[in-house]
């Protein structure tokens, strides 16, 4: 290579860099000195600190590949082949599909070869095989070690100890205060409390963590609390002290999987119906804005599930899926709580619309909205007594709801009154007296009369009321 090369340097250390015996600084020093000796122009050095060579998900590597296309660079240089990758497949892909396809050579100082020569290209394939072998051996040793710890009864979660335990010197030690909370969760569930009710109770009583419905559900299924540890789907007897007795745990599993609960007859444990999707038309993703669909037992963001490309808002969205029955129960129980505490309604009321330029017009529109809310409530009552077919009810309710949306859009929120409070309470009362007796279509309509939108953001559920 007689010409002066313009090159990019790449350096990497993983979490095992103490064992590799060369640091980021040392790699940079070697690359810089090599380029100086060759008379090459070192344009930039890309650094990935703390990233494994077992995959391509490294920010500096990806940035280098992007810049390589934009900049007229002749070669990429590393100190050692496995700094580029420990994967045979990834190594060959990078060299052949990325570097050589863009007329960029690859040079490794330690192995003393480069891809500008046939011998260098052959050596790349040979050495990448040994890099892959080394990676596989490390993985095998690591896996064997974790299996050994599991068989010996040790928890392998490191410092991420589950609630109820502390991780001390490689072992789980019972945290008495947190263990008391786990025991209370199990006792409340056995007594017939729903997961949502338990979540509310725990957050009201204990302030050392924020409990979610998902966390409560996971705690009720975690065999760690009866003294088991798991690795790769295999359960081993743990060395730690159990918090929950085997009898308690088995009773909870019986309730979770009981036919009565699966059929939805026990409303304290699950939603009060078995088939259909109560909330699917109301749920939106709080991260990307897409709707949620219901399939395979879960409400899922369209962007994440990609079940219908038309509704994808962000293909990279990773918002949480929610168990259908669990989310249904949360919404139903939240509405039920309003019946027991009417003061909560006052706190939920949105500031009503007020038109400062045309207050008389605003008053008439608010009056019409009040009438629509009363008519929606009346439609539910007529259906409940059997005097109105569901087809007519659905059509009329849809027309009224559309009219209400148009009216609300005409009025910016400025000052407050309670023009929607009375009909809202009336609809809540209808919910209390007749919800369980309605079929799914009527239940969905009643829910939609009360709730305008449900937003999901991870474990958080936000209800936007029609007030």
Residues 6+ apart with CB under 8 A from 154: 170, 171, 229, 238, 239
Task: Please state, in angstroms and rounded to a whole number, the distance separating the CA atoms of residues 367 and 420.
Answer: 10
Task: Yes or no: say if 10 and 84 are a contact pair by the CB < 8 Å rule.
Answer: yes
Task: Please state, in angstroms and rounded to a whole number, the distance separating the CA atoms of residues 300 and 403.
Answer: 30
Beta bridge partners of 41: 6
- 8-state DSSP, 413: B
- 8-state DSSP, 353: B
Dihedral (CA of 225, 229, 234, 235) sign: negative
52 is an active site residue: no
Out of 14, 128, 194, 305, which one is annotated catalytic? 14
Task: Please state, in angstroms and rounded to a whole number, the distance separating the CA atoms of residues 262 and 247.
Answer: 21
Task: Please state, in angstroms and rounded to a whole number, the distance separating the CA atoms of residues 444 and 264.
Answer: 16
CA distances from 404 to 219, 308, 376, 442 (A): 43, 29, 11, 20
Task: Please state, in angstroms and rounded to a whole number, the distance separating the CA atoms of residues 73 and 59.
Answer: 19
Closest to 216 measured CA to CA, from 193, 197, 199 = 199
b or e along 75-97 (b: 16 or more beta carbons within 10 Å of the residue's beta carbon)?
Answer: bbbbbbbbbbbbbbebbeebbee
Task: Please state, in angstroms and rounded to a whole number, the distance separating the CA atoms of residues 68 and 95.
Answer: 13
The phi, psi pair for 312, rounded to 5°, reads -75, 125
Active site residues: 14
């Amino acid at each position: 290579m007689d010409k002066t090369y313009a090159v990019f340097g790449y350096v990497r250390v993983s979490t095992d860099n103490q064992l590799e015996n060369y640091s980021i600084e040392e790699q940079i020093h070697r690359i810089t000195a090599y380029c100086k000796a060759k008379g090459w122009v070192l344009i930039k050095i890309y650094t990935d600190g703390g990233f494994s060579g077992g995959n391509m998900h490294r920010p500096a590597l990806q940035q280098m590949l992007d810049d390589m296309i934009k900049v007229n660079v002749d070669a990429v240089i590393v100190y050692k082949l496995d700094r580029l990758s420990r994967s045979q497949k990834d190594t060959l892909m990078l060299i052949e599909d990325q570097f050589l396809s863009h007329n960029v050579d690859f040079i490794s100082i330690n192995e003393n070869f480069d891809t500008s020569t046939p011998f260098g290209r052959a050596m790349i394939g040979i050495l990448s095989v040994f890099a892959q072998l080394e990676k596989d051996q490390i993985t095998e040793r690591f896996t064997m070690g974790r299996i050994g710890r599991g068989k010996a009864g040790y928890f392998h979660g490191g410092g991420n100890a589950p609630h109820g335990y502390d991780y001390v010197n490689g072992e789980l030690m019972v945290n008495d205060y947190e263990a008391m909370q786990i025991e209370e969760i199990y006792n409340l569930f056995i007594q017939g409390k729903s997961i949502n009710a338990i979540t509310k109770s725990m957050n009201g009583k204990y302030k050392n963590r924020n409990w979610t419905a998902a966390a409560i559900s996971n705690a009720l299924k975690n065999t760690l609390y009866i003294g088991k540890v798991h690795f790769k789907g295999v359960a081993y007897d743990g060395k730690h002290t159990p918090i929950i007795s085997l009898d308690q745990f088995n009773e909870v599993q019986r309730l979770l999987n009981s036919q009565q609960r699966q059929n939805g007859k026990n409303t304290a444990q699950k939603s009060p119906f078995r088939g259909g999707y109560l909330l699917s038309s109301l749920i939106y993703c709080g991260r990307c804005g897409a709707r949620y669909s219901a399939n395979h037992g879960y409400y899922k963001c369209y962007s994440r599930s990609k079940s219908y490309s038309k509704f994808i808002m962000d293909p990279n969205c990773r918002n949480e899926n929610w168990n259908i029955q669990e989310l249904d129960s949360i919404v139903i129980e939240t509405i039920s709580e309003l019946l027991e505490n009417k003061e909560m309604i006052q706190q939920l009321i949105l500031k009503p619309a007020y038109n400062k330029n045309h207050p008389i017009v605003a008053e008439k529109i608010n009056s019409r909205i009040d009438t629509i809310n009363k008519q929606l409530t009346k439609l539910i009552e007529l259906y409940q007594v059997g005097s109105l077919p569901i087809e007519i009810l659905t059509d009329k309710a849809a027309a009224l709801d559309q009219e209400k949306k148009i009216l609300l859009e005409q009025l910016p929120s400025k000052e407050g009154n309670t023009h929607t409070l009375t009909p809202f309470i009336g609809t809540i009362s209808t919910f209390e007296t007749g919800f369980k007796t309605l079929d799914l279509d009527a239940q969905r309509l009643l829910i939609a009369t009360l709730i305008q939108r449900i937003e999901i953001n991870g474990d958080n559920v936000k209800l936007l009321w029609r007030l």
